[in-house]
Structure 1
Amino acid sequence: MGMRSSSIAKFAFLAALSAAVAGCAGSGGTRPMAFGPIAAPKIGGGDALLVSLNGGILPKSAVTGLSKPDQVRALQAEYQALEKAPLGQKVAWKSQLGGNSGEVSAGTPYQVGEQNCRQYTHAATINGVPVKGQGAACRNQDGSWTPLG
């Protein structure tokens, strides 16, 4: 698939997702909520679903030790955990070259105003050193997640 076809498909996916999410917006309060199934994000230079994670929640100094493909794997795991992993289920990633790996788990989904949010943790081993990040993120109307703080 060429760059133009990929961009068109990505736009169509995001447009359909935005329409679906717009129908799910709630009003006020904080309450648990569930997320429906969604296709795994693909990255090809700058997928908004992963870019909005702003590099993820692992310490930036540790992430710089990852290759670009490993950085994408780590962000994809964070996205998948936030988007659809049940409470207690870990989303794992592993470098194809070996050595680097991690697991992401997300807490119970909750809603603040009209945004769906989750707390999450990411434990990884990068170049033989264990690292951990934790934080919270809220889901945007386009299906992307933005970390808080």
Structure 2
Amino acid sequence: MNRSTLFALPLFALALAGCSSTATTTQVSQAPVQAQPVVVQPMVPTSAQNVQTARLTTSIANGFVDPAALALMTAKDSNEANSAQFYALQFGRPGAPRQWAGDRGTTGSVAVGPYVRVNNLDCRDFTHTVKVNGTDYVRKGTACREQNGNWNVVQGTA
């Protein structure tokens, strides 16, 4: 046997000896536990997560769509654009446009930026593109969600 084996063998035997157990079993008694009532508090969602109470609180007539396009849109076009605008602002991912289609080939898309806190309000940049009769109308701006849940344009450009 070489020297390292002679040195390691007693250490190995000592380590194994430490693993053996000759202890006696000790019984531990425990006092009865009285269960406390569990009070479950509902998690309060943030306003961006509150899907059930979210309601359509935008109006494309208030600066979300180019006025020239708005004059050419039907009621269905307006409803579809309004819905897309709201859901893009409320739940949209930055850079993922929300598409919509109305009557007579009118289409559009709404793209939003990330949420930004301004004066304790959630705000987002948006770009709403409407295509009517082959012409694109683009409206860019910033919208903020007021305390009552309404989205309002605070800055807009054509």
Count of matched residue pairs: 111
Aligned to 2:117: 111
From 122, 135, 145, the counterpart of 2:141: 135
Q: Which amino acid aligns with 2:76?
A: P
* Aligned 8 A contact 2:112 2:127 in 1: yes
More relative contact order, 1 or 2 (CA 8 Å, 6+ apart) = 1
TM-score by length of 2: 0.62
From 99, 111, 118, the counterpart of 2:105: 99
Gaps of 5+ in 1: 1-18, 25-34, 43-48
In structure 2, distance between residues paired with 1:145 and 1:60: 18
From 142, 145, 151, the counterpart of 1:145: 151
Aligned to 2:49: 36
Post-superposition offset of 1:54: 4.2
Gaps of 5+ in 2: 1-43
TM-score by length of 1: 0.65
Q: Which amino acid aligns with 2:131?
A: T
Is 2:94 the counterpart of 1:87? yes
Post-superposition offset of 1:144: 1.3
CA-atom RMSD in angstroms: 2.2
Q: Where do 4+ consecutive residues of structure 1 move more than 3 Å? A: 39-42, 53-56
Is 2:78 the counterpart of 1:71? yes
In structure 2, distance between residues paired with 1:119 and 1:72: 21
Larger Rg: 2
Post-superposition offset of 1:20: 6.4
